[in-house]
Amino acid sequence: MTPTEPLVRPAAGQAAVRPPLPVKLVIAGGFGVGKTTAVGSISEIEPLTTEAAITEVAAGVDDLSHTPRKTTTTVAMDFGCITIDPTLKLYLFGTPGQERFGFMWDDIVEGAVGGLVIVDTRRLDDCYAAVDYFEHKQIPFAVAVNAFDGRVEHSLEEVRWALDVSEGVPVLVFDARERGSVRDALLVVLEQALARTEG
């Protein structure tokens, strides 16, 4: 079978059915901003996570003041997938949030068409590294402000100014716990990636 042939052979009189196009997206951001939650909210499979317990040593390094109930953290990546429609399937890779795991990012981001940088407005400085990474690699991305407790601390224009992202980068509010909200944010990233290819 050649790569252009359908994987599912149609019965007589039926149209050929092609599998959905696989597209890789990365979900990034600082520690405890909702990356694992976002992947878990939308994945159609049981998400693969690499969560480890936060030790006393890690608690001394990672700022838990805004996430006091957080007991685990991602130490490698999160993985999930979602079929958008019969022609498109998204493979989602969540990065670890701590700077000490930054050496993994190049491998995780390899082949991705875009990224979603999740932001907690109480800790904007935690997402600078992710924004800088996507800008440096020239990978299309959007900034998603996670509405913790149903609210955000700053307006979207204030967030844009603080992160110093261009007008071409979408900045939006979403809720990492809600499937539809995560889907809409990912579709914004897809639109950014498509616009880049057409531009």
Q: What are the helix (H) ranges across the chain?
A: 35-42, 56-61, 105-109, 128-137, 156-163, 179-198
pLDDT of the chain, 199 residues: tens digit per residue: 444 444 445 566 666 678 899 999 999 998 889 999 999 999 999 988 765 554 444 444 445 454 445 455 554 578 999 999 999 999 999 988 556 555 678 889 999 999 999 999 888 888 899 999 999 999 999 999 999 877 788 899 999 999 999 999 999 999 999 999 999 999 999 999 988 877 5
Q: Phi and psi (nearest 5°) for 151?
A: -150, 165
| 104 CB-near residues (< 8 Å, 6+ apart) | 76, 77, 95, 96
Half-sphere exposure of 141 toward its Cβ, with a 13 Å CA cutoff?
Answer: 26
The H helix count followed by the E strand count for the chain is 6, 8
Whole-number pLDDT of residue 30: 87
E-only strand ranges, 77-136: 78-85, 88-94, 114-119
CA-derived radius of gyration, the chain: 18
Whole-number pLDDT of residue 102: 56
Whole-number pLDDT of residue 18: 84
Instruction: Yes or no: say if 90 and 25 are a contact pair by the CB < 8 Å rule.
Output: yes
CB atoms within 10 A of CB 108: 21
Residue 20 token pair: 């959905």
Task: Using the structure block, give the residue that is written with the tokens 């159609």.
Answer: 44
Q: What letter would DSSP give residue 190?
A: H
pTM here is 0.78
Whole-number pLDDT of residue 63: 53
Whole-number pLDDT of residue 150: 76
End-to-end CA distance of the chain: 34
Produce one character per residue of 166-183: b if its CB has 16 or more CB atoms within 10 Å, e if not. Answer: eeebbbebbbbeeeebbb
